[in-house]
Structures are given as structure tokens and as C-alpha cells.
Amino acid sequence: MNALWAVYKREVGVFFRSPIAYAIAFGLMLFLGVLFSASVNSAVLQNQSGFAQQPITADLLFQSNLAVLVFLMFIVAPLLTMRLISEEAREGTLEVLMTLPMGDWAFVLGKFLAVWTFYTVILALTLAHTLMLDGIGVLDGGVVFGAYLGAWLYGGATLALAMIWSAITEDQIVAAFLGSATVLVLFLADGLAQLAGTQDFTRGAANFIRELSLQSHYQNTMLEGIIRAEDIAYFVFVMIAAVFLTTLIVGTRRWRAS
């Protein structure tokens, strides 16, 4: 546990001293802020005009804002994780770290928890938008809790998946590209499952693909405030599996270096 804490503390310090990490967080929050402002103004105008078929509620604005953040994780997650292990390998410090008395799991898990902590801070910053919406409308507490819990777990899963590629390649750009592709494919899998489900002979495959999709375990359930054990289990399983696979890859590097 001491080794895990040491790695975690070191990586958290790196994130909060990194101009790149701050630039990613600033760019994301700026985009979400502009989108939030435009969405609120548009909703107010439509509600006042009387032409809207149904009023645009605070819950709907909240859900759309958080859904955008979750969608953008196919960009954000690879950018945050691309340097975690690949930079250590490229600079030769990975071999040095591997000689220290700590297990591969402590090294990988410490890094993962650090980047998940940084993402948690970014997610917490969006509470400013939620509080503004609560001031001008009425938010459902259950929807807010479920959506944030889902976004937190979703973020952890995408970060764990993207980190695999940082362990595989020393090139940060390649790691970011492959991580982005992996997360995007799993995000779009739900749409592919809907297309495949239109035919009887592909319905079984469609159900399997849907279960693998990140979106199917968030968009229609947790984002709506519906918390299901199977959705939580899915995200937890993805994180455990991805961290385990990354640990195996790092262990292979240690074996080759010895």
C-alpha cells in the first residue's frame, strides 16, 4: 500500500503541475461553458415564444450538458492518459521504477487512480452549471445523482481503456489515437447494435454488442437517474479488466528488461 500511495501521490502532483493537463481542463470547461450558455439562452427563448411543443426543463438542459461531457471522453481520456506510461518508457525511467520494491499492480493502479482523481476534479467543476440551473429551474435530485455517478464511472472506464495503449507504445500520439479509437468504437457500439437488431438472424449479435457498449449503460439509464446494478458492474468490470491488462503489459516490460 505504501508503494501504491507513493505512485498515486507522485502522479497527482504531476497532473496538478502540468500545463498540458490544465490546458485540457480549461479547453473542456470553456467549451462546456459556451455550450451551456447557448443552451440556456435558446431554451429561455423557446419557452417564452410558445412555439415549443413542450417546455425545455432544467433537467433536460442538465442531461444534455453532461451527455456532451461524456461523449467528449473519447478525446479527453486519451489526452490525459497518453503520457502515463509511454513517457516513462520513452525517457527510460520505467526501467528504473521497475527496479524499486513494488508490484506492477501498485505502479499501474496508482497511475490510474491519479488520472481518475484529476478527471473527478474536472467533473466537479461542472457542478457550477448544475447550481446555476437549480437557481433558474427545478432539478430532480435523483437524476442529478444518477447522472453524475454514471459520468464518474464512465470516465473511469474510458481512462482505464485509454491507459492500455500508453503501456503498449512509447509514442504518446499513437497512444492517444488508439485510445480515442477504442473509446469511440465502444461509444458507437450501441448505434451499431440498433442497426444489427433490425434483422432476425443478427439479433443475438446485436444484443451482445449492446452489452459491450459504453453508451447503452449510461444514456438511457444512469443519465435518466435510473441506477442499475448491472450498469455499475459493467463500468467496474471494464476498469478492473483494463487495469489488469495494463498490469500484464507492464509486467512483460519488466520481464524483458530483466
DSSP string, 79-139: HHHTTTTHHHHHHTHHHHHHTSS--HHHHHHHHHHHHHHHHHHHHHHTHHHHHHHHHHS--
Residue 212 has pLDDT above 60, yes or no: yes
Three cell numbers, residue 147:
447522472
Instruction: State the chain's mean pLDDT as an integer.
Output: 88
What's the number of CA atoms in the CB half-sphere (13 Å) around residue 58? Answer: 15
Provide the pLDDT for residue 137: 84
Closest CA to 85 of 255, 207, 249: 249
182 CB contacts (<8 Å, ≥6 apart)? 161, 162, 164, 165
Provide the pLDDT for residue 47: 76
Domain map of the chain by residue range? 2-257
Residue 98 has pLDDT above 70, yes or no: no
Residue 205 has pLDDT above 70, yes or no: yes
Rounded Cα distance between 31 and 162, Å, is: 22
SS3 (DSSP) at 66: helix
Residue 139 has pLDDT above 90, yes or no: yes
Q: What is the pLDDT of residues 100-119, one digit of tens each?
A: 667 788 889 999 999 999 99
Closest CA to 175 of 161, 156, 157: 161
Mean pLDDT of 116-133: 96
Provide the pLDDT for residue 256: 66
Provide the pLDDT for residue 136: 85
Q: What is the pLDDT of residues 40-97, one digit of tens each?
A: 998 888 877 766 567 788 899 999 999 999 999 999 999 999 989 887 766 666 665 6
Provide the pLDDT for residue 100: 64
Q: In this predicted model, which residue has the larger pLDDT, 209 or 230?
A: 230
